[in-house]
Amino acid sequence: MSTISLLISVKPLKMPDIVAAMAEDSPAIVGVVCNRQTVDGVDYDVVRARYLEALHLTAGVVPVLIPGGLADKELRTCLLAFNGLLLTGAASNVSPSRYGGPMACASTLDLDRDRTSIAAIEIALSLGVPLFGICRGLQELNVALGGTLSTNISEGEGRGVHVEDLSLARDLQYAPSHAIVAEGNGHIAECIRRLKTNSVSVNTLHEQGIAQLADGLAVDARCVDGVIEAVSVKEATTFAAAVQWHPEWFHVEDPLSGEIFRAFGEACHLHVKRKMLQP
């Protein structure tokens, strides 16, 4: 009886192939800083569902809430485990005490959110974690890097109205209201130009905005009246940008909103792969 030996040739997998396969099964996790609200004498940490929907459905990531009150060490532990950070909009303003501005009514502020967001920004940038700020998030990013804010960006000669009409239905409040023009080569400017244009229409629903731009930021877009509408972090090694408007509201219907959330999501998924390659 003869013995037949079968030799099976197995092509060894290369490390990039292994990482790519593992990354497909590993969701990108994005931390979302909460707002502190008091209802009937009870404090709540809250986030509007529309932000979470935009992250999950359009960016393709898993959102996880970051409550207020965490120490810097605890925030760092969170961000070491996360693949992105979202700073949402809010009805509250960044406290003028953070940037040397005039005193403000306490009811317009959220000091816990200020502390959590600014600490989280500094930690995320130091770790190379992708970061995206919306409305208040843009203002927090500017302040965290040393910039200042205007308490009413609609004031001044030639300025348009940058707040919503509260008498309108919610979808109309968030409808495009004015044009912005892309500048430079930052993340948001690239998203605009991928639509084969240099100018688009957006909404704006917050009185606060950038006065003095932080040295570490570059302008990505301006309103036609001069208001800074989008910025990117100059020295960031990944997506680190913010916008004055609200792309989350029409993240499905609006081409630019979808483009921005997908770009952020891609950066978060790339962060997953990079972490897997670390020793």
CB within 8 Å of 278: residues ≥ 6 apart: none
Instruction: Work out the number of other CB atoms within 10 angstroms of the CB of residue 150.
Output: 20
| Cα-based distances in Å from 128 to 27, 124, 131, 239, 251 | 18, 6, 9, 9, 25
What does DSSP say about strands 149-150 and 228-233: parallel, antiparallel, or unpaired? Answer: unpaired
With contact defined as beta carbons under 8 Å apart, do 174 and 50 qualify? no
Catalytic residues, which ones?
135, 246, 248
> Coil, strand, or helix at residue 186?
coil
Report the alpha-carbon distance of residue 275 to residue 262 in Å, rounded.
20
For helices 136-144 and 111-127, angle between their N-to-C axes, nearest 10 degrees = 60
